[in-house]
Structure 1
């Protein structure tokens, strides 16, 4: 689709894996993982509409974003989304179940902002304050956001440098409108997904509380959940080997199941 940056790596003969990054970032966040991932997968990275190198609009919705990213992926694939990308992956799976063989959410929350009956999320007042700060001072707020992502995580200094590099190169065009997408509530959509689902959380994530793990597990006991000890909001960067092993184990399991059923 015109205006949506996407690029594929590896052999098209391998199982397809789509990577969706988080708010304020770009697909460059996956760069260090691509050499290992392409050994097992045909990887497609996408810059979310309004972020990175993709065009966007101020009236974008999570549903319209899902329509745009789904349009650039032709074959059924496992969709992996980090943070906001995890919410988007849920929306894609809900709208296009035939395109999603499996779903992996990383440091994500189906309901990112606290609502009645859902305390395992960011405080609504904190979210509003962040939006106000972003409108007033975007550069300063993005720098603070980078620090929040590595908060508590291991190997923080090296990861912070990588995150800042991605933020500096992303030049997102629609920060405010895409930030508003985090106020969506996808709990119902997530609970109804029929594809295999894996949720990965960081033990000391400063943006998605680890209590989300048990809350999500209660929604659908068939979903797999993993918590990376000592990891913050970027478990795929702080614990890359464990992350890749977890990804391999999960995808092999549901691929074998699909083969038996097929």
Structure 2
């Protein structure tokens, strides 16, 4: 078998560092011939998802497994649609099909709440980052430690890039995408996620074609890929190996 690459895309306003434990855990569970790469986003200030996806398509290796957490999972899904058969598979971690509510998709954050985040980010970045870190850590086993770690990373993100990421989160609408993908796809969720409602898992599962599946991690919040890296990696590795063996 030729070498396979798995790319990990980070969450909103976060670089690749928080996903390093997950990448290490994944490397331990995959045989030789698999390469795991944590990706930092380009310094984009565009609020258009197409600009982000096009930039990622140019930067990332072809025929790779596309994986990502939160915003990263949504961008991985969009890139999988963009690439079609040029993507090997998709793994979305704590990623909704639409981060905001839309017609027929109530299992998401309200547009008003996201607008409030955007206003707060412009007025008081530190306070808004702290709020997001708290919501991301909520539902986990050590929320204070996790919240502090996330906040420390969030505060290093330039404001214009953070605002652009929120704009992309607001604009991405992937409700119809999972059903169209012809590649293996796994969608993982935390049962107690404060940002992606549990009902989103069932809504996404109902739209998956053959070769797609969902799973959830108990007693876990939005940041489960960070706090529960070993369990997350075990689920990811099992899915990747089974899918590649079936090819």
TM over 0.5: yes
C-alpha RMSD of the superposition: 1.7
Per the alignment, residue 47 of structure 1 pairs with 40
Conservation of the 8 A alpha-carbon contact between 2:101 and 2:107? yes
Contact in 2 for aligned 1:91/1:186 (Cα 8 Å): yes
Equivalent residue in structure 1 for 2:225, among 206, 230, 236 = 236
* CA contact 2:85–2:182 (8 Å) conserved in 1: no
Native 8 Å contact 1:151 1:206 kept in 2: yes
1:191 deviates by 1.8
The CA deviation at 1:172 is 5.4
Compare 192-201 and 14-23 and name the one that shifted more. Answer: 14-23
Give the equivalent residue in structure 2 for 1:7: none
Matches within 5 A, 1:55-94: 55-57=43-45, 59-94=46-81
How far apart in 2 are the matches of 1:24 and 1:73? 19
State the TM-score, normalized to the length of structure 2: 0.91
CA distance in 2, matches of 1:172, 1:245: 35
Please name the residue that 2:168 is paired with.
181
Q: In the alignment, which residue of structure 2 is the partner of 1:141?
A: 128
Report the CA distance between 1:221 and its aligned residue: 4.8
Ranked by relative contact order (alpha carbons within 8 Å, sequence separation 6 or more), the top structure is 2
CA distance in 1, matches of 2:181, 2:10: 21
Deviation at 1:131, TM superposition (A): 1.4
Aligned equivalents of 1:160, 1:145: Cα separation in 2: 9
- 3-state SS, counterpart of residue 219 of structure 1: coil
Counterparts of 1:119 and 1:22, CA distance in 2:
22
Structure 2 match to 1:154: 141
Distance 2:3 2:153 in 1: 28
CA distance in 1, matches of 2:51, 2:127: 29
Task: Structure 1 unaligned segments of length 5 or more: list them.
Answer: 1-12, 49-53
Whether the 8 Å contact between 1:55 and 1:173 is mirrored in structure 2 is no
Return the alpha-carbon distance in structure 1 between the equivalents of residues 231 and 145 of structure 2: 18
Q: TM-score, normalised by structure 1?
A: 0.86
Deviates more, 1:203-212 or 1:185-194: 185-194
Describe the SS at the equivalent of 1:96.
helix
In 2, the alpha carbon distance for the partners of 1:157 and 1:190 equals 34
The count of aligned residue pairs is: 240
User: Which of the numbers 236, 242, 250 marks the counterpart of 2:239?
Assistant: 250
* 2:12 counterpart residue number: 23
Query: Which of 214-223 and 169-178 deviates more?
Result: 169-178
Measure the CA separation in 2 of the matches of 1:210 and 1:125.
20
Instruction: Quote the Cα distance in structure 2 between the aligned partners of 1:87 and 1:251.
Output: 19
